[in-house]
Structure 1
Amino acid sequence: MLWAVELMEKGLNPARHIKGGDAVLDEGRGVATDTSGARSFEADAERERTLDRLEARTEALRFSLRARRASARFELWRHDLRETRETWFRLVDPDGQDPTLEGS
Protein backbone atom coordinates (compact mmCIF):
# COMPACT_ATOMS: atom_id res chain seq x y z
CA MET A 1 0.00 0.00 0.00
CA LEU A 2 3.02 2.27 0.32
CA TRP A 3 3.28 2.43 -3.43
CA ALA A 4 -0.20 3.99 -3.56
CA VAL A 5 0.80 6.69 -1.07
CA GLU A 6 3.99 7.41 -3.02
CA LEU A 7 2.04 7.77 -6.26
CA MET A 8 -0.50 10.05 -4.58
CA GLU A 9 2.31 12.25 -3.24
CA LYS A 10 3.53 12.63 -6.82
CA GLY A 11 0.03 13.67 -7.88
CA LEU A 12 -0.66 10.41 -9.74
CA ASN A 13 -3.74 8.23 -9.51
CA PRO A 14 -2.65 4.81 -8.17
CA ALA A 15 -5.66 3.09 -9.77
CA ARG A 16 -4.18 3.83 -13.20
CA HIS A 17 -0.93 2.11 -12.32
CA ILE A 18 -2.36 -1.24 -11.28
CA LYS A 19 -1.67 -4.11 -13.69
CA GLY A 20 -4.62 -6.31 -14.50
CA GLY A 21 -7.07 -4.17 -12.55
CA ASP A 22 -7.00 -6.38 -9.45
CA ALA A 23 -7.27 -3.40 -7.14
CA VAL A 24 -9.19 -0.15 -7.15
CA LEU A 25 -8.33 2.99 -5.27
CA ASP A 26 -11.02 4.03 -2.85
CA GLU A 27 -10.84 7.80 -3.34
CA GLY A 28 -12.53 8.54 -0.01
CA ARG A 29 -9.96 6.70 2.10
CA GLY A 30 -6.98 6.62 -0.25
CA VAL A 31 -6.49 2.85 0.06
CA ALA A 32 -6.36 0.13 -2.54
CA THR A 33 -9.06 -2.54 -2.36
CA ASP A 34 -8.86 -6.00 -3.91
CA THR A 35 -11.65 -6.63 -6.44
CA SER A 36 -10.67 -10.14 -7.54
CA GLY A 37 -13.27 -11.58 -5.14
CA ALA A 38 -15.98 -9.55 -6.85
CA ARG A 39 -14.88 -10.87 -10.22
CA SER A 40 -15.02 -14.42 -8.91
CA PHE A 41 -18.53 -13.80 -7.59
CA GLU A 42 -19.61 -12.38 -10.96
CA ALA A 43 -18.05 -15.33 -12.81
CA ASP A 44 -19.83 -17.78 -10.50
CA ALA A 45 -23.13 -15.96 -11.01
CA GLU A 46 -22.70 -16.01 -14.80
CA ARG A 47 -21.89 -19.74 -14.66
CA GLU A 48 -25.07 -20.39 -12.65
CA ARG A 49 -27.15 -18.40 -15.15
CA THR A 50 -25.63 -20.40 -18.00
CA LEU A 51 -26.43 -23.68 -16.24
CA ASP A 52 -30.00 -22.51 -15.65
CA ARG A 53 -30.41 -21.62 -19.33
CA LEU A 54 -29.03 -25.01 -20.37
CA GLU A 55 -31.42 -26.81 -18.00
CA ALA A 56 -34.38 -24.87 -19.39
CA ARG A 57 -33.28 -25.66 -22.95
CA THR A 58 -32.93 -29.34 -22.05
CA GLU A 59 -36.47 -29.42 -20.67
CA ALA A 60 -37.87 -27.67 -23.74
CA LEU A 61 -36.11 -30.10 -26.06
CA ARG A 62 -37.32 -33.10 -24.05
CA PHE A 63 -40.88 -31.79 -24.26
CA SER A 64 -40.55 -31.32 -28.03
CA LEU A 65 -39.25 -34.86 -28.40
CA ARG A 66 -42.10 -36.34 -26.35
CA ALA A 67 -44.84 -34.26 -27.94
CA ARG A 68 -43.81 -34.49 -31.58
CA ARG A 69 -42.13 -37.81 -32.26
CA ALA A 70 -43.45 -37.84 -35.84
CA SER A 71 -41.97 -34.42 -36.63
CA ALA A 72 -39.37 -34.06 -39.37
CA ARG A 73 -37.26 -32.17 -36.81
CA PHE A 74 -37.17 -35.06 -34.34
CA GLU A 75 -33.57 -36.07 -35.13
CA LEU A 76 -32.41 -32.45 -35.02
CA TRP A 77 -33.99 -31.97 -31.57
CA ARG A 78 -32.45 -35.20 -30.36
CA HIS A 79 -29.00 -34.14 -31.55
CA ASP A 80 -29.46 -30.67 -30.00
CA LEU A 81 -30.56 -32.23 -26.71
CA ARG A 82 -27.45 -34.41 -26.67
CA GLU A 83 -25.15 -31.42 -27.30
CA THR A 84 -26.95 -29.31 -24.68
CA ARG A 85 -26.55 -32.05 -22.08
CA GLU A 86 -22.87 -32.49 -22.93
CA THR A 87 -22.30 -28.74 -22.51
CA TRP A 88 -24.14 -28.78 -19.17
CA PHE A 89 -22.04 -31.68 -17.88
CA ARG A 90 -18.79 -30.05 -19.04
CA LEU A 91 -19.68 -26.91 -17.06
CA VAL A 92 -20.77 -28.81 -13.97
CA ASP A 93 -17.85 -31.23 -13.87
CA PRO A 94 -15.10 -30.48 -16.43
CA ASP A 95 -13.19 -33.68 -15.55
CA GLY A 96 -16.21 -35.94 -15.24
CA GLN A 97 -18.31 -37.96 -17.62
CA ASP A 98 -21.95 -37.98 -18.56
CA PRO A 99 -23.35 -40.67 -16.22
CA THR A 100 -26.25 -41.58 -18.53
CA LEU A 101 -26.09 -43.92 -21.47
CA GLU A 102 -26.03 -42.45 -24.97
CA GLY A 103 -29.39 -43.80 -26.07
CA SER A 104 -31.45 -42.61 -23.14
Structure 2
Amino acid sequence: MAAVTLQLHRLALDDDLAQTWARSTGVAFPRYTSWEELREELSCTHGVPELKVTDQGGFLQYRAASSHVSVLVVDDGDEERGDCVGDGDVWSLDLWLPFQVG
Protein backbone atom coordinates (compact mmCIF):
# COMPACT_ATOMS: atom_id res chain seq x y z
CA MET A 1 0.00 0.00 0.00
CA ALA A 2 1.39 3.40 -0.96
CA ALA A 3 -1.34 5.66 0.43
CA VAL A 4 -4.39 5.68 2.66
CA THR A 5 -7.29 8.15 2.93
CA LEU A 6 -9.39 8.39 6.07
CA GLN A 7 -12.72 9.79 4.91
CA LEU A 8 -13.76 11.42 8.17
CA HIS A 9 -16.74 13.11 6.49
CA ARG A 10 -18.51 9.73 6.48
CA LEU A 11 -18.71 9.77 10.28
CA ALA A 12 -21.20 12.66 10.22
CA LEU A 13 -23.79 10.41 8.62
CA ASP A 14 -23.06 7.03 10.22
CA ASP A 15 -22.61 6.66 14.00
CA ASP A 16 -22.40 2.86 13.63
CA LEU A 17 -19.42 3.24 11.30
CA ALA A 18 -17.64 5.43 13.84
CA GLN A 19 -18.29 2.94 16.65
CA THR A 20 -17.15 -0.01 14.51
CA TRP A 21 -13.97 1.85 13.59
CA ALA A 22 -13.26 2.74 17.23
CA ARG A 23 -13.79 -0.86 18.41
CA SER A 24 -11.62 -2.40 15.71
CA THR A 25 -8.73 0.09 15.82
CA GLY A 26 -8.87 1.58 19.31
CA VAL A 27 -8.99 5.04 17.71
CA ALA A 28 -12.12 7.13 18.16
CA PHE A 29 -13.03 10.10 15.99
CA PRO A 30 -15.81 12.56 16.78
CA ARG A 31 -18.73 12.93 14.37
CA TYR A 32 -17.30 16.28 13.24
CA THR A 33 -13.74 17.55 13.51
CA SER A 34 -13.16 21.23 12.83
CA TRP A 35 -9.88 22.30 11.28
CA GLU A 36 -9.50 25.00 13.95
CA GLU A 37 -9.73 22.40 16.75
CA LEU A 38 -7.24 20.16 14.99
CA ARG A 39 -4.87 23.03 14.29
CA GLU A 40 -5.07 24.10 17.95
CA GLU A 41 -4.08 20.59 19.04
CA LEU A 42 -1.21 20.59 16.54
CA SER A 43 0.05 23.90 17.92
CA CYS A 44 0.61 22.16 21.27
CA THR A 45 2.78 19.50 19.63
CA HIS A 46 6.54 19.96 19.23
CA GLY A 47 8.02 19.62 15.75
CA VAL A 48 4.88 20.00 13.63
CA PRO A 49 6.02 20.55 10.03
CA GLU A 50 5.09 23.61 8.01
CA LEU A 51 1.81 23.26 6.13
CA LYS A 52 1.38 24.34 2.53
CA VAL A 53 -2.20 25.46 1.79
CA THR A 54 -3.76 25.03 -1.65
CA ASP A 55 -7.28 25.72 -2.89
CA GLN A 56 -8.94 22.55 -4.16
CA GLY A 57 -12.24 24.07 -5.35
CA GLY A 58 -14.59 23.96 -2.36
CA PHE A 59 -11.85 22.54 -0.16
CA LEU A 60 -8.53 23.70 1.25
CA GLN A 61 -5.70 21.21 1.37
CA TYR A 62 -3.19 21.56 4.22
CA ARG A 63 -0.18 19.50 3.18
CA ALA A 64 2.88 18.64 5.23
CA ALA A 65 5.14 17.13 2.58
CA SER A 66 7.93 16.38 5.05
CA SER A 67 5.65 14.10 7.10
CA HIS A 68 3.63 12.76 4.13
CA VAL A 69 0.28 13.92 5.52
CA SER A 70 -2.42 16.18 4.15
CA VAL A 71 -5.76 17.32 5.51
CA LEU A 72 -8.66 18.29 3.27
CA VAL A 73 -10.99 20.88 4.83
CA VAL A 74 -14.41 22.03 3.60
CA ASP A 75 -14.16 25.63 2.33
CA ASP A 76 -17.74 26.56 1.50
CA GLY A 77 -19.52 29.14 3.63
CA ASP A 78 -22.90 27.74 2.57
CA GLU A 79 -22.17 24.24 3.92
CA GLU A 80 -23.62 23.64 7.39
CA ARG A 81 -23.14 20.66 9.67
CA GLY A 82 -25.85 18.02 9.45
CA ASP A 83 -25.70 14.70 7.66
CA CYS A 84 -22.45 15.97 6.21
CA VAL A 85 -19.61 18.05 7.58
CA GLY A 86 -19.82 21.83 7.27
CA ASP A 87 -17.60 24.76 6.40
CA GLY A 88 -14.27 24.52 8.24
CA ASP A 89 -14.64 20.82 9.07
CA VAL A 90 -12.09 18.15 8.16
CA TRP A 91 -13.23 16.15 5.13
CA SER A 92 -10.38 13.65 5.02
CA LEU A 93 -6.83 12.81 6.06
CA ASP A 94 -4.32 11.45 3.55
CA LEU A 95 -1.16 9.55 4.46
CA TRP A 96 1.31 8.37 1.83
CA LEU A 97 4.68 6.74 1.45
CA PRO A 98 7.40 8.77 -0.22
CA PHE A 99 8.22 7.74 -3.76
CA GLN A 100 11.57 5.99 -3.88
CA VAL A 101 13.53 5.32 -7.04
CA GLY A 102 15.47 2.12 -7.30
With the shorter chain as reference, the TM-score category is under 0.3
Give me the TM-score of the superposition, normalised by structure 1: 0.22
- Higher normalized contact order (CA 8 Å, seq sep 6+, divided by chain length): 2
Larger helix share, 1 or 2: 1
Larger strand share, 1 or 2: 2
